[in-house]
């Protein structure tokens, strides 16, 4: 039994840590969020140069292997930095979807640019009525001669405002919740009929709602076989779930560390508040939660990499997200509470980690959803 990182994973972790300590302090991050793009183009190019954008893809797709443990290592460090660059929507989700579904021709046109930082993707999947159900797709794709016409509305499209291409899931056949009948289309956001309403999320990330009204694209824009995208969508979704769970581990450990540090410096009643047993025990519980969160994410990452059984993988991922979700509530709320008033202000980074943790709990299925999904498998 050996839970230590490989040499490559260790190098990857060190390289992210180094970048974060040099280039990503709280003030820099705040300025990046206030900028129009909402992310740093320089950072993005650097990520490409460092090979980070290739980590989610297999070697045959021009990547560095695409292992879940590698992804976990990176996402945890990104969580510690509360990074806003669109690594997850573009490199992880976008890149992996294309890798799963596309023809070799399509791959060569898209993936090299994604890995090189020259093309950003966004995944338009969730809808007003879908909640967390990946197979519930009301957006329609109808053949019209050689063309395809897309109609529908997508919500929570991360990186939508900055994406060069959108990966839109739309239904070609079947009922609204059928797994069969869904396809992924590559859509240029400048196509007539595409309306993007951009906004910043509560955690500083760029997101959007997108309307598709009679959006006409060529049949060649379809990624994969008609109506056959669901299995790939679910696989990529599980990868995203693992990614946000690992990121949450980084966020929570940072909150714990900052809370303990604060309790050692903040004085009330003539002593530092860290000497109060009532607070000590709560910080001990936060530590336990962080350990359990880390452990179950390690479990899920290892199963994603090694298990041959898809059901077992999915179950592991849902277990991780639901358990991490519980840890998110406890650790992030206690971090704010123990900080007191300063914890609910925008002036301190703690509140921003709290907001990111809250968003991570929701993304790709909240705690209740994943408990239910685990039970149903």
Give the interface with other proteins as residue ranges (CB under 8 A): 126, 129-133, 136, 155-156, 177, 197, 199-203, 207, 209, 267-270, 278-279, 329, 333, 336-337, 340-341, 343-347, 351-352, 354-355, 358-359, 362, 366, 368, 371-372
Quote the least distance from Cβ 188 to other proteins, whole Å.
22
| DSSP letter for each residue of 278-344 | HHHHHHHHHHHHHHHHHHHHHHHHHHHHH-S-HHHHHHHHHHHHHHHHHHHHHHHHHHHHHHGGGGG
CB of 117 to other proteins, least distance (A): 26
Nearer to other proteins, 47 or 123 (CB): 123
DSSP symbol at 180: T
Q: Which residue has the tokens 């021709």?
A: 105
Of 138, 143, 148, 194, the residue nearest 171 (C-alpha): 138
165, 164, 176, 163: which is closest to 206 by C-alpha? 163
Residue closer to other proteins by CB (options 113, 266) is: 266
Cβ proximity to other proteins: between 135 and 165 the closer is 135
Nearer to other proteins (CB atom), residue 145 or residue 270: 270
Nearest approach, Cβ of residue 197 and other proteins (Å): 6
Measured from the CB of residue 361, what is the shortest distance to other proteins in angstroms? 8
Q: What is the smallest separation between the CB atom of 364 and other proteins, expressed in angstroms?
A: 10
Closer residue to other proteins (CB): 258 or 303: 258
How far is the C-alpha of 56 from the C-alpha of 64, rounded, in Å?
A: 7
Could you tell me which of 324, 331, 316 has the C-alpha nearest to residue 248? 324
CB of 371 to other proteins, least distance (A): 7
DSSP assigned state of 36: S
For other proteins, the closer CB: 38 or 117: 38
- What letter would DSSP give residue 86? S
Nearest approach, Cβ of 308 to other proteins (angstroms)?
28
DSSP state, 6? P
Distance CA 137, CA 124 (A): 11
Where residue 244 falls (left for φ over 0; alpha for ψ -120 to 50; beta otherwise) is alpha
- Say how far residue 259 (Cα) sits from the centre of its chain: 25
- Residue 186 φ/ψ, nearest 5 degrees: -90, 115
Minimum gap (Å) between residue 258 Cβ and other proteins: 15
**Sequence-separated (6 or more) residues with CB below 8 Å from residue 66:** 55, 56, 57, 58, 96, 99
CA distance 329 to 324: 9
Whichever of 41 and 131 has its CB closer to other proteins, that residue is: 131
Pairing of strands 140-144, 182-187: unpaired
Nearer to other proteins by Cβ, of 15 and 333: the residue is 333
Q: Smallest distance from the beta carbon of 251 to other proteins, in angstroms?
A: 15
Closer CB to other proteins, residue 175 or residue 219? 175
């Amino acid at each position: 039994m050996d839970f230590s990182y490989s040499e490559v994973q260790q190098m990857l972790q060190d390289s992210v840590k180094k970048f974060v300590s040099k280039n990503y302090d709280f003030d820099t991050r705040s300025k990046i969020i206030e900028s129009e793009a909402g992310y740093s183009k320089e950072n993005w190019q650097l990520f490409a140069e460092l090979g980070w954008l290739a980590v989610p893809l297999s070697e045959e797709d021009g990547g560095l292997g695409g292992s879940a443990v590698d992804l976990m290592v990176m996402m945890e460090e990104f969580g510690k930095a509360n990074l806003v660059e669109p690594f997850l929507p573009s490199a992880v989700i976008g890149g992996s979807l294309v890798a799963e579904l596309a023809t070799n021709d399509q791959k060569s046109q898209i993936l090299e640019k994604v890995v090189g930082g020259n093309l950003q993707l966004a995944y338009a999947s969730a809808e007003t009525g879908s909640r967390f159900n990946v197979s519930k797709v009301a957006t329609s794709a109808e053949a019209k001669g050689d063309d395809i016409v897309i109609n529908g509305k997508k919500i929570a499209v991360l990186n939508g405002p900055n994406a060069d291409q959108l990966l839109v899931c739309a239904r070609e056949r079947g009922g609204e919740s059928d797994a069969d009948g869904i396809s992924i289309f590559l859509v240029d956001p400048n196509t007539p009929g595409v309306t993007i309403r951009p906004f910043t999320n509560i955690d500083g990330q760029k997101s959007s709602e997108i309307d598709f009204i009679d959006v006409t694209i060529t049949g060649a824009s379809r990624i994969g076989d008609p109506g056959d995208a669901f299995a790939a969508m679910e696989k990529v979704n599980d990868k995203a779930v693992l990614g946000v769970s690992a990121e949450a581990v980084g966020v929570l450990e940072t909150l714990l560390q900052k809370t303990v540090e604060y309790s050692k410096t903040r004085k009330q009643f003539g002593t530092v508040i860290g000497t109060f047993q009532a607070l000590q025990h709560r910080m001990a519980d936060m530590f336990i939660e962080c350990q359990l969160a880390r452990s179950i994410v390690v479990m899920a990452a290892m199963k994603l990499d090694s298990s041959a059984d898809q059901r077992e993988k999915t179950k592991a991922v849902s277990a991780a997200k639901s358990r991490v979700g519980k840890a998110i509530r406890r650790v992030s709320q206690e971090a704010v509470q123990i900080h007191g008033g300063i914890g609910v202000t925008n002036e301190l980074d703690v509140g921003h980690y709290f907001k990111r943790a809250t968003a991570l709990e929701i993304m790709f299925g909240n705690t209740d959803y994943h408990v239910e999904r685990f039970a149903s498998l």
